[in-house]
Amino acid sequence: MKKIIFILSLFLLGFSTQAQEKIKKKNKNAKVTFKVDGICGMCKKRIETAALKTRGVKFAVWDVKSHQLNLIMDERKTEVAKVQKNIMAVGHDILLDKDKKLEATEEAYNSVHPCCKYRDNKIIEDHNGELKKQ
């Protein structure tokens, strides 16, 4: 009888361990999207390069008109916050929702090319960016 209880206990322990592994398992091809502020093709290149230089990011495409960045990343190697931090380090703000955003430092923002100053309304108009500010 003791052997049966022991074997049954091991069997149940194995199932509980397997269930915990599935909960902790991270996706190696996670699809993530968020908005990044920018204005032109140079911004596109800078944003995509910063994202792709983040370890674990496999694919990055930023759309100039919608400001949406689409990523495929390995969640086992990086987190979305790390990608966002790297993008802010090259001078671009992360748009969380209509009124909230993570802002790049002034030093990082000032390092972008003068035509990429997406916080300046005159430059937005020069790029026909009337759709930019939603």
Q: Examine residue 74 and state whether it is found in any structural domain, yes or no.
A: yes
Domain that holds residue 52: 30-126
We report the CATH number of the domain holding residue 82 as 3.30.70.100
Q: What is the pLDDT of residues 112-130, one digit of tens each?
A: 999 899 988 888 888 775 5
Which residues, at least 6 apart from 80, have a Cβ–Cβ distance to it below 8 Å?
A: 32, 34, 73
- The arithmetic mean of pLDDT across residues 34-53, rounded, is 95
Rounded-to-integer distance, Cα 99 and Cα 95, Å? 8
Q: Examine residue 117 and state whether it is found in any structural domain, yes or no.
A: yes
Query: Taking each helix axis from N to C terminus, what angle separates 41-52 and 80-89, rounded to the nearest 10 degrees?
Result: 130
Which pLDDT score, from 0 to 100, does residue 129 have? 54
Q: Examine residue 11 and state whether it is found in any structural domain, yes or no.
A: no
Q: Examine residue 96 and state whether it is found in any structural domain, yes or no.
A: yes
- Contact status, residue 78 vs residue 55, Cβ threshold 8 Å: yes
Least confident of 5-14, 62-71, 118-127: 5-14
Domain count within the chain: 1
Q: Per-residue b/e over 62-92, b at no fewer than 16 CB within 10 Å?
A: bebeebebebbbeeeebebeebbebbbebbb
Q: How far is CA 42 from the centre of its chain?
A: 19
Please state, as a whole number, how many other Cβ atoms lie within 10 Å of the Cβ of residue 57.
Answer: 21
Q: What is the pLDDT of residues 68-108, one digit of tens each?
A: 999 999 999 999 999 999 999 999 999 988 789 999 999 99
pTM listed for this prediction? 0.75
